[in-house]
Structure 1
């Protein structure tokens, strides 16, 4: 869904890559008809929370897509794949946001790195939920830059 001429809300992110099929945080917190257990009740372990509402934004810069993730519960590679399909653009200028790679297994980090290398982003700015180990592994595959308070990124 286009929000502006250059900014697209990506909607629900389809899951394609098996290595990004890790259970979402908050799994098994949803109860029938409720987002959380009623006060005083324990979560029902048989009712999964699939976070089907995970989404992202894509900005069409002159140099390719800038993909803005939330926490990337659907997986950053799934988000990149979906953004390319929705926007009809293969070039990736930057990926900015949480990458949901906190305490990720070495195998998942390697698979994510290889996948991102194929997407060939000009830059990746990992934010929350991406630990130092993940940034180090990803930096072997794609250009990883630090983020922080006061950082200004201009894609005009």
Structure 2
């Protein structure tokens, strides 16, 4: 099982894993106590609170094999290049209607957080609290801090500010 980290957790004990929002923890299994999970992140195995994460459906995992139309897997699928823990965002440029229930619907102008490349040309993203796959060529990646949604210019009835 793989999970997406929703909230930061600073492990206090040596067996606890430090996780940050946006991380993808792999090889997750139940921990020794209720409410705790154990998983691997960056080569380190440790415990973290279950309530701080959300399970990534098998079909959206980088190592999944049951995807359509993404049937040809890239040898380079996996994490996007490191970004210094800064969230990556993209703005939708073309509408997309999902072909599968684990894909995100896209409308031009929407913002999507990029979480991981799951296959060449397909990313795992989060939009309005929903996880899903989407085609990377339907969006434009943004640079800088968290972008603001497009806001129309304010004008009075004469067409002036």
- Answer 1 or 2: which has greater strand percent: 2
Name the TM tier (shorter chain). under 0.3
Bigger Cα Rg? 2
- Answer 1 or 2: which has greater helix percent: 1
* TM-score, normalised relative to structure 2: 0.23
* TM-score, normalised relative to structure 1: 0.24
